[in-house]
Copies of this chain bind each other. A is one copy, B any other.
């Protein structure tokens, strides 16, 4: 990868963090990258193409950096802790708030939809096996759609990132509350056999009754 191309990819992420999707342009990107504005078009054709490429490359890099940590997660609360660490680190250097900006842009720019969906999927692909592992044998796993849950976690994380940008105190509080939810799930998993059977019975009964609640496969 040529140096200039990489500088443009990095500069795109920096510019997205500083100016948001509303303030992005070949000029703001080039300024952040420290290169000439015309090189955006020489190397990537259009600004949107560069945005898509930066989204893919940047997310892949970040995901690779956290892959190891995900495999070491041993509980739902540890998963939340990794999410917290990721959030703090990425707020400074990274790619998650960038992903939120690109998701917002993709809502009305169809050409951004595919790259952003793929980038989010990279995170989902990390989260999903962790959940499969953590919830193995849990009553929840018997009725819940784990891939769906992984998607909810990834999407919810993006929503919390955006919320954090306008209300840091509220966002901290929200994360704390989610930790309590994780505690509940873990508590159910740690129940004795009798109570556990009761929960399981209750869950499968409810799941059978409710059509729209069944996981989509």
Binding site for B on A (CB under 8 A): 17-24, 77, 81, 97, 100-101, 103-109, 113-114, 116-117, 120-121, 124, 139-140, 143-149, 151-152, 154-160, 162-163, 165-167, 170-181, 183-188, 190-192, 194-195, 198-199, 202-203, 206-207, 210, 212-216
Contact = CB atoms under 8 A, between A and B. Distances in A.
A177 B144 contact: yes
B120 A181 contact: no
A176 B18 CA distance: 36
A104 B20 contact: yes
Contact of A166 (B17, B20, B113, B195): B113
A180 B144 contact: yes
A100 B108 contact: no
Contacts of A18: 108
A39 to B, nearest CB: 22
Contact of A151 (B113, B173, B210): B173
A109 B198 contact: no
A164 B144 CA distance: 20
B165 A151 contact: no
Listed from nearest, the 3 A-B pairs whose CB atoms lie closest are A159-B159, A148-B177, A195-B195
B100 A107 contact: yes
B151 A162 contact: no
B214 A176 contact: yes
A146 B181 CA distance: 11
Contacts of A185: 184
A104 to B, nearest CB: 3
Contact of A212 (B179, B192, B212): B179
Contacts of A154: 163
